[in-house]
Structure 1
Amino acid sequence: MEESNLDSYIRIQVSADKLSAYLTFSRLNDEFQCLPEQLERYVRSHGVLYGLRLDVIGQIAKNPIVYYKEQTLIAQGEPVREGKDGSIKMVHDMELEPDHRPVELQDGKVDFKEIVQLKNVKRGQLVAERMEPQLGLPGKTVTGEELPPKAGKQARIKAGKNVVLNGDQSALYSAIDGLVTMTDKDKINVFPVYEVNGDVDYRTGNIDFVGTVVIRGNVLTGFKVKASGDIRVVGGVEGAELESEGSIEITGGILASNKGLVKAGKNVKSSFIQDGNVVAGEDVLVGQSIMHSHVRAGRSVICLGSKGLIVGGSVQAGDLVKARTIGNTMATVTAIEVGVKPEYRQELGELRSKIKSLMDSLDKTDKALVLLDQLASLGQLTPDKMALRIKLTATKRQSQLEMDETRERILDIERTLENAESAKVDVLSTVYGGTKIVIGRYTRFVKDSAARVSFRFSEGDIVLLPYY
């Protein structure tokens, strides 16, 4: 059959992105005969030049009836490969190591002073440098056109305090001798270091420092440590208040007796938390156990040491709670909540209390206005009562405005509670009865223990899936 006659049998279609070409039959009869070479030339004559699947074209020519009712891919282009995004390379590794242990000396003793490895830099030293994005690989359409590669996104160094960017903003240098610290929104700072060689007690008093604080001892009940940078505690923390704009790392654990607060703008890392209150803007990383505590994290709570136990109290995280064991055989009530930033849950409770208070106030105002309106209708409204009536009317208007704004904010937060599909609770070993799982606005009570499971939100309910 002449190639010109193939038009009455075959259609060649090229996809909109020109990365695929397809052959379809418009009709087929006994007169259709075609050699593989003829069909290839026909396809090329229709502008399909690259990525030809010659084996498929040959099979169509030899056995067209098999492909008669199909749209068959006969050419595949090469898509553009995305470039790699740029990144920021730090002179120190800023990740908290969950399994970092103290150094054991030759005589078998443990040197806790060596566990805090400070990320110190000298004035003028390089702190961070920008790694350029990489160009991707070019592509090619089935029609033979080159597709230019795409570069990754350029990274940006976020300069904080006591650091200097070079002219093209590709490198960051320290302006002082100090400690490299990441604060909220990934700003890179160098803070001076205040070091306490012992406990925070009556000898040192409370600490409020515009930098990083290193305590080579314990922080005792009732004392406060506040830092613009990080806080590192080699010992333990009792019922004290620790507040950091960066991260807090506690080697000896938190034993708080339900007093005090440990609050960090970024991460909190501790070997254990017992009867404590902990708040982190990003992650809470615990080596051994979280027992009868209230823990809130903007992103995740990870408890994966050899015990990896969460029991009692409440643990809240924006995205993920991950532990080896949750609850115990005594069915101790343990609440795990994910799917919304913990501060939103707290705000929601406060807003609902405010609504109740405003409604009570409006009710009292309405009753007073009814009495004043009755006096006005009888012509018995004295000047002081008239002034009170005007004041109460203004108060009512203001309360209604506050009520509307509060209800709107409640709706905003409830909408975020609905968007919890990526949130999850992972249990590597066992979750026991008595555990309450909350994802977004949905709740599930665990009645029977289960092993190696993941709680997820799906189609309006919390489902239990195997953990891999």
Structure 2
Amino acid sequence: MQIYTNEYFTLSSVDNRVYISVFAPDYPFTEFEQVLQAVPRVQITQFGSLRKAIQQNLPERTEVGRLKPEYELVISPDYMKATIRFYLSEDEYESKRQELTGAVLKALQQQGVAEGILYDALNGPFTKQEVLIAQGIQPVEGVDAVIQYYELSERKPTIHQDGTVDYYELNFIDEVEEGDWLGEKIPATVGMPGRNLKGGILPARKGRDKPLFYDKETVQEAQEDGKIVLRSKINGAVAKAGRTIEVQRVLTIRGDVGPKTGNIDYDGSVQITGTIMDGFSVTATQDISVLSQMGIGAAESITSENGDIFIKGGIFGKDRTVITAANHVFVKLANDCTIRAGEKIHIGLYSMGSKLYAKYVYLDKSRGKIIGGLVQAKVQVVSAFIGNEMERPTVVQIEGFNRAQVKQDLDELLKEYQTLLAEIEKIRKEVDLFGDSGDNGDNLKGTQKKDFIYYWSKQESSVDKIHQLEEARKKLMAYLSAKGDGEISIVQKAFPRTVLQIKEMEKHIERITTGSFYVSENKLFYE
């Protein structure tokens, strides 16, 4: 069968093999590409034979390639798509369009394609490119449950100045009333199954459910507009215990703690709009806030057994007042008092003649002053000024820590963290195998339900451990934020008669000094 001829040669085909017969010399071999474009079905597989036949003007028939089919139909192994490519010229295609369309549809049918045929694409304009002519429907995975909780205010104090007065501001207690929103869950969706070209159903993964963690004594859940909404059962203060949201009871004293109220001892948080009079005390299991701009005088004691303390004004303790918090203390200024914090002490303006004990002691970097008294910290002290122009004796001590040990602890924690993440992913796959099992395996029975509860509990236990490790990681990273094995940072000036001690190393300031002092490898460094 002759398939192409020009003034130099003829191409013919026998049993899908392509032959060339040359009958005129001097054909430019570089122009043969134009022949292939004119006859798309020809595929040259023996270029050496083709070149020899043309260059040596060989009249006898020489095999040079093969004849491709009119079209090539390809169906993916997963039967999710079918493509076609036509090896015809545009004129050939248009002259045989109906015949080709019928042949392709029959070929699809013979290979089991029953759905997803794209007729518009199959009957579309001619192109030499591969064309998608059948498409399966991919399953749409379900969306995981989305959970949102009440966002607690960040406890980051700031000093505001209006020209006459410095205001020490901090969003400390997040108060809510009964019925207030505390969180919500948009349930997981089931997804949509897909179908392949044979009509086979492709199941969709259901979105993962996530539990809401809340204290059932103070928080309740209800179905609202397709969501599960958490609302407060009581008036109080929002708090988080690990992943669990709760409402702590708040005692609000509108006015002063004094003869009318007596000493306060409360299981929950205490908020005082006034002050605490001299000689009186306040003890609470949770947070304590004193909101008077005037602060407090010689109160006996203020103690938070498990939370933080915020004193909006200053402390004028007359060497009597003792402030103790399990976590942090925030105060505008401290005069002649004792402050003990399990974690950090934040002072806005100055500490004068006071004793401060904590892991970290921070004063404002531009105006904060430590004048007289004693500061004992485990990790770091930061202040703009230490001492004063009158050279009042001031002692700042850092107990210090083992930096190498902290790094080792952090490395071990991160390894455990990675191991837990891998374990959680493995457990989640086990949980997914149970499919639509309900929130607590309600749709399962017998051994299946028992296994589901086991894996679900194991998963939640591992996630709780992840949260614990994250809190531990933050504490270790805070240690490493200090220089060396303990640091005293003087942002502006340290004055003479200031004594700095880090571990066993001691430095007496003899002239105005600025910079950081820290200990590393049992040596005191200054920079």
TM (normalized to structure 2)?
0.45
* Bigger-Rg structure (1/2): 2
